[in-house]
Structure 1
């Protein structure tokens, strides 16, 4: 079930164009490939935007789901570039391999039989113009509240919840990529304040706390 939302948007600290770098440096790494899945980020039912590939991120960088939904620009040794969204974690043996790409992503950079290739990469803004979406988890209620952000054009660094529009509680991000208030909210609807990697903030009002609800925000981050 979808609900309409009322949002307020805080001006970004530093606006930038799609594809512009939003990390501190370009980094070398290794890319491999696997069958592909939304996996650990719990983006079930989400369709990747046109022109954006999927990838799992190595355990050493996954950081308790903090990078879920972030986009990266990946270049092979010849300078061919792709944009990929982090939608899964690659544990165990992937710790030393930066990205485990979906098959279509890897084949855009190298012949699949190669197995792995050296790459350079950096975080970039996702080429998404449609609004992001908030989704409550199965089992969510006013007594145990869990909510997810997807289709954002940047990684999400913070999510806060208010039952009265004045007092805010910071929800704790879980490894399965939902933000949790284990003690609940005490109300049937809340305001949700989401902060993106560049410091932009969007507040969405009238978000239901019941399970399996989605609310589309008024916009994406600037």
Structure 2
């Protein structure tokens, strides 16, 4: 009987010990859970990684954006503006640039819109012939200038070169243009004139000179808002600049680039690339392109 009680007591001690172990383990787990819940990473609270070390958003891929503020017109022929920006100044201007007031005298003659610049006669009655110095080997061709005298002004397009006795600053106006400034009986008046960039000029056209072939060609740009600085033809992977004749055609003496893509640049540095211009002599081929206004 005494041995049975000792045996039961021993088993009771074993059971108590097991219960204590289980309680300690459960308490430890509960404490760990409370500790994890209180250590700043509880559900719903931003973690240190999320709040302070979040990976930055990827920067936009520059190649995915347009490489220039291009204004692309796609007529037939097509045209694409390829300059990144149009500067306010005119780094490619010759003697006639924006902002400079030229002073001289104005006369008039029986103009028809044709002349040294080789534009077709007719159409615009408000034209002018530039003195030789400011004509500058056709750089003045197609430029628009505002002529002012006695509080009156008129805007004319340069289509001709004044005869050799015209001094620097002088401009020979069409009779219609001169009449906007003074009575024809005045004959000769003091004026000032400056380059302008008008709004209502339409779009550009291209013409190949009579006799142009794949072995020699002359290229003329018509209807440009701003004076031209250069014309280039495609040459392999690059561009080849053509010289400008005094009669306002850009010449490819060996025919290189004739009938291919053209790139034209105005005095402000804006470039337009013209595609689809056929090698069709003496045909005015319109585009939908035009230089920006200044």
Category of TM-score, reference length = shorter chain: 0.7 to 0.9
The structure-2 alpha-carbon separation of the partners of 1:131 and 1:96, relative to structure 1 and needing over 3 Å to count, comes to closer
Tell me the equivalent position of 1:27: 102
State the 1:42 CA deviation: 0.4
Q: Which has the higher strand share?
A: 1
Deviations 1:182-214 (A, max 9, x none): 110266x30000001211110001222342233
1:53-68 to structure 2, matched below 5 A, reads 53-68=126-141
Q: Is the 8 Å Cα contact of residues 161 and 170 (structure 1) preserved in structure 2?
A: yes
Note if 1:128 corresponds to 2:203: no
Aligned residue number for residue 181 of structure 1: 252
5+ residue gaps, structure 2, are: 1-74, 90-95
Pairwise CA distance, 1:62: 0.7
Larger radius of gyration: 2
* Correspondences of 1:132-143 after superposition (within 5 Å): 132-143=204-215
Tell me the distance in 2 between the aligned counterparts of 1:110 and 1:212: 38
Q: 2:167 aligns with which of 77, 81, 95?
A: 95
Q: Which runs of 4+ in 1 moved over 6 A?
A: none
Superposed displacement of residue 170, structure 1: 0.7
Aligned partner of 1:9 in structure 2 is 81
TM-score by length of 1: 0.87
Q: TM-score, normalised by structure 2?
A: 0.66
Over the aligned positions, Cα root-mean-square deviation in angstroms equals: 2.2
Bigger relative CO (Cα 8 Å, ≥ 6 apart): 1
8 Å contact from structure 2 (residues 232, 239) kept in 1:
yes
Structure 1 position 26, deviation (Å) = 1.4
Q: How far apart are 1:169 and its partner, in Å? A: 1.1
Q: Which residue of 2 aligns with 1:47?
A: 123
Aligned length: 210
